[in-house]
Amino acid sequence: MSIQKRFKKPVVHPQPIFAGPRLVSIKDAAAYLGARVWAVRQMLRKRELPYVPVGRGFKIDKIDLDRWIESERRLEREWQHDAFRT
């Protein structure tokens, strides 16, 4: 056996982005966004974030969370422009 084969690093496959359940609770969504539960509830009330009614509660799709993050993302130039406006 050649040295290259013996010391070749094993192929490690990265974890899939959606490891775990696709629908998450409000508490888990808040942790995913790095926000408070109150803030996520406000976004749901204002209909800024889509949800799925499950029983007496709500579940939020991780894909919708990612879409919301992308829609709220600003470029540095846009952020600086907004900062000088106020």
**Per-residue pLDDT tens listing for the chain (86 residues):** 565 556 666 555 555 555 678 899 999 999 999 999 999 999 999 999 999 999 998 899 999 999 999 888 876 666 566 656 65
**pLDDT for the residue 22:** 87
**pLDDT for the residue 73:** 82
Architecture of the domain delimited by 21-85: Orthogonal Bundle (1.10)
Residue length of the chain: 86
**pLDDT for the residue 20:** 72
**pLDDT for the residue 29:** 94
List strand residue ranges (DSSP E) for the chain, in order. 23-24, 52-54, 57-61
Of 18, 70, 29, the C-alpha closest to 52 is: 29
Helix (H) or strand (E) holding 73: none
Residue 64 has a CB neighbour count (10 Å cut-off) of: 15
